[in-house]
Amino acid sequence: MEGVVIRAARPEELPLLDALVLRSKSHWVGGRVADVPDVTPKLTAADIASRHVTVAERDGVPVGFYALNEHEDYLGIGLLFVDRPFIGTGVGRLLWGHLAGRAVALDARLLGVGADPRAEGFYLRMGMVRRHEFEHDGERLVWMVGEVATVAGRPARDGGAPPGRHPTAEDGSVRRERPAGPAGRPCAPRTYGPGCPARP
């Protein structure tokens, strides 16, 4: 999309990003922000560096952003939102491309995201794979994973899935499910996503 610049977020933009999240979520309820449950954790100034908060800016105004959560065994996509007027314009794909490059720079091998089911199609198009559903703060979410080598369109390393192919449990590029964890949801070995055992 022309005129969009990807850059690091600034502390003074945090209230704008919180409002952007609500407008983005309102896309699914006819644009009525008042009908959107305000359950998304608010970003802090400390998050900007520690969570690699990055915005897509157009005409000096943020129109989308992402925030990451670094874990020992996967890189979590904590937040990825596009402002409602810009949904479907390519801003999300631009942010995804930058996010994938950041994952490579961080030497991450696996991405994970608890996605709104209505955003599942976007993540599937980006190369992520659906694993299971879970609830968080009253929201039903879909846990999805993807090999960084695949979603970034780069050659796979150490036996990962080849470029252009979705990773699967069968070829070993996504680990097989374990029996359900304490919260009744399946847990993959060394991938401590939502509902899985706490880290040692």
Show me where the domains of the chain are located: 4-108, 111-174
For residue 147, list its beta bridge partners: 110
Q: What is the pLDDT of residue 157?
A: 43
Q: What is the pLDDT of residue 29?
A: 67
Q: What is the pLDDT of residue 196?
A: 47
Rounded Cα gap, residues 7 and 84, in angstroms: 20
Rounded Cα gap, residues 24 and 4, in angstroms: 18
Q: pLDDT tens digit string along 49-89?
A: 999 999 999 999 999 999 999 999 999 999 999 999 999 99
Q: What is the pLDDT of residue 20?
A: 93
Query: Fold for domain 4-108?
Result: Aminopeptidase (3.40.630)
Backbone angles phi, psi at 186, to 5 degrees: -70, 150
Low-confidence ranges of the chain (pLDDT < 70): 1, 29-41, 154-200
pTM of the prediction?
Answer: 0.74
Question: Which position has the token pair 């694993």?
Answer: 131
Cα dist from 51 to 68, 89, 113, 149, whole Å: 5, 25, 14, 21
CB of 125 closer than 8 Å to CB of 166:
no
Rounded Cα gap, residues 174 and 58, in angstroms: 36
3-state secondary structure of 31: coil
Q: What is the pLDDT of residue 140?
A: 87
